[in-house]
Amino acid sequence: MSRSWYILNVYTGYEGKVERTIKSLLEKGDIDSNVILDVKVPLEEVVEIKDGKKKSRMNKFLPGYIMLELDLPEFGWKDTCAKLYRIQGVTGFVGNVNRTDRPMPITKDEAMNLLQKSGLIKGDKQVHVRQSFNIGDIVKISDGPFASFSGTVKEINLEREKLSVEVQIFGRPTPVEVSFLQAEKA
């Protein structure tokens, strides 16, 4: 037996329900807590700026999937998997073609990446900023050394979540780079 993370495929929108059902089965003793060690729905923090206000919320960054830490025994794993398959909304394990096949774990690196991204383990927790900027928009810089300056968006870098804004400094157009969180539509 070896502890590994597995990805369980579920109907989109059923992630929370399936997670609660698995935890309930663990509490009742219907599923062995030595086999299912942890259940996680990967979430990420999304910051959205509307009307000059920052709103933060949690979004599923893998809709339709749940992470399970399992210590599957060599014999008897089929019983645990059969109980999971009977939960409404569960379609199967990622990487398995047939339900009769032993589930395939994800690599330790993949598991660490997913857990870090969702902030479930220490590391670089990523906050995704939902941008609503377009090239040519007039924005007001709300934070940083150029706070209170207004300018025109010239470039948008989605990967780095940065804007290139052309502002007037001493009467001359000057490009400055700001993050999505530092700018708001004027």
- The Cα–Cα gap between 125 and 43 comes to 11
Q: Cα-flanking dihedrals φ and ψ of residue 84, to 5°? A: -65, -40
Alpha helices in the chain (DSSP H): 15-28, 77-85, 108-117
Residue ranges in the chain modelled with pLDDT below 70: 1, 49-52, 120-131
The three-class DSSP label of residue 145 is coil
- The Cα–Cα gap between 25 and 93 comes to 18
Quick one: 178 exposed, middle or buried, by C-beta within 10 A (0-12, 13-18, 19+)? buried
H-run or E-run covering 39: strand 36-40
pLDDT at 17: 96
pLDDT at 117: 80
What predicted TM-score, i.e. pTM, was given to this entire model?
0.67
Distances (CA, A) of 38 to 124, 139, 156: 21, 45, 39
pLDDT at 1: 53
